[in-house]
């Protein structure tokens, strides 16, 4: 019997399960540093992209990695955030700008500093939305940012 994958089988979102099982209490979202939000948002974005690539069916790992690398990098993310600026709420734009304008202590391997800052802002926004429990908004923004792109 084939088993389908359905996200609506979860009674709680992923973060709530993690908090409960590891007995974690979150803090006020305004207390997280933009780089901490970007650190988490990088992973959230990566998980969304990996899910988009794996869930449709069987593919070779080399193919998955190549496609993921094309989509999960500072240059691509900088392009994605440009598509979203008109649909972000004031709060979301503030989080993006704070992440973008934060002094970073590293640099991108294959991107210019402007793209790297924009990607950091994009990741900070996704991390913020994840901690806020706005998973549907994360998916909506990623989907909008990828419109007109071949997968």
Residue 88 is part of a domain; what is its CATH number?
1.10.1520.10
Q: Report if residue 95 sits inside a domain.
A: yes
pLDDT at 13 (0 to 100): 86
| Tens-digit pLDDT string for the chain (151 aa) | 344 444 444 447 889 899 899 999 878 888 999 999 999 999 999 999 999 999 988 889 988 989 898 889 999 999 999 999 899 999 999 999 999 999 887 777 778 889 999 999 999 999 999 999 999 999 999 999 988 765 5
pTM (2 decimals)? 0.86
Asked if residues 122 and 96 have their Cβ atoms less than 8 Å apart, the reply is yes
Q: Count Cβ neighbours within 10 Å for each residue of 52-68 and write b for 16 or more, e otherwise.
A: bbeeeeeeeeeeeeebb
Number of domains in the chain: 1
Tell me which residue range forms the domain holding 71. 33-145
CA angle 42, 44, 45 (to 5 degrees): 65
67 domain residue, yes or no: yes
List, in order, residues 6 or more apart from 8 with CB less than 8 Å away: none
Supply the pLDDT for residue 150.
56
Question: Is 17 part of any domain?
Answer: no
Asked, for residue 27, whether it belongs to a domain, the answer is: no
Provide the H-helix boundaries in 30-104: 34-54, 61-71, 74-84, 90-101
User: Which positions are annotated as active-site residues?
Assistant: 42
Residues 6+ apart with CB under 8 A from 75: 110, 111, 115, 119
């Amino acid at each position: 019997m084939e088993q389908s994958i359905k996200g609506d089988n979860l009674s709680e979102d992923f973060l709530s399960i993690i908090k409960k099982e590891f007995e974690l209490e979150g803090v006020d979202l305004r207390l997280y540093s933009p780089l901490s939000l970007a650190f988490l948002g990088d992973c959230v974005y990566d998980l969304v992209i990996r899910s988009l690539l794996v869930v449709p069916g069987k593919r070779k790992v080399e193919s998955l990695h190549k496609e993921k690398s094309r989509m999960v990098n500072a240059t691509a993310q900088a392009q994605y955030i440009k598509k979203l600026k008109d649909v972000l709420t004031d709060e979301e734009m503030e989080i993006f700008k704070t992440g973008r304008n934060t002094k970073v202590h590293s640099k991108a391997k294959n991107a210019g500093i402007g793209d790297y800052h924009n990607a950091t802002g994009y990741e900070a926004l996704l991390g913020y939305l994840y901690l806020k429990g706005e998973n549907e908004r994360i998916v909506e923004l990623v989907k909008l940012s990828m419109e007109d792109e071949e997968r």
